[in-house]
Amino acid sequence: MSRMPIEKGIIGKKLGMTQIFAENGNVVPVTVIEAGPCFVIQKKTIETDGYSAVQLGFIDMPERKVTKPKKGHFSKAGISAKRHLKEFKLTNAESLNVGDKIDAETFKDIKKVDITGITRGHGFSGGIKRWNLHQQRMSHGGGPVHRHVGSLGANSDPSRIMKNKKMPGQYGHEQVTILNLEVVKVDTEKNLIAVKGAVPGRRGGIVFLRNAIKI
């Protein structure tokens, strides 16, 4: 497995899932993402910051909702306030300048991407839903504990429950990155990217795309 540098990056919004017919007639399930347009808000260089990167902004934000520090940040860049910001350590960050526009056309020649998003939250969930544990037998004598976790194996030593046990708890609402998703179609006019398969997050959720780094 080879590791590729990060050359492309963009902020997008998950619109939902649909299906596309391939040239051979097969139906391909895809997730449609509105990729950009994003604007370079800040540029970081090795001389001033110790590393090379660019900060992108996505989706306009009303000025009445912008705090004074952020208002100064955007006015320095000469760009209207954006709701979502994300920093990308791109290999070609030095060639980009503040105010540059990045849209879906950037990914027209990319075959595979990595997508990061926040999964849907399921609240406090039991072990069966959260970890796919099996329930106890429904025979006589089971009592009202068919979906309980059961024994956790704690004895006099160590007299405590060990860490990382598969127990009930908060399920979902965590950052997840899906690697090597195939790019099926790029619509440069509408700034849409269709990738094969599912993408973490709800409809309307913000996701971050980059070119696949593990091939």
Parts of the chain with a pLDDT under 50:
none
Closest CA to 187 of 12, 43, 55: 12
Predicted confidence at residue 4, as pLDDT, reads 67
Domains 9-122+174-211 and 125-171 share a fold: no
Non-local (6+) Cβ contacts of 164 within 8 A are: none
Per-residue pLDDT at 121: 94
Look at the domain 125-171 and name its fold. Ribosomal protein L3; domain 3 (4.10.960)
Domain extents in the chain: 9-122+174-211, 125-171
Report d(CA 106, CA 12) in Å as an integer: 13
What is the per-residue pLDDT for 1? 58
pLDDT of residue 2: 60
Question: Residue 96: its pLDDT value, please?
Answer: 84
User: In terms of Cα–Cα distance, which of 154, 142, 153, 148 is closest to 167?
Assistant: 148
CATH hierarchy code of domain 9-122+174-211: 2.40.30.10
- Sequence-distant (≥ 6) Cβ neighbours of residue 209 within 8 angstroms: 8, 9, 10, 11, 12, 33, 35, 107, 113, 114, 115, 193
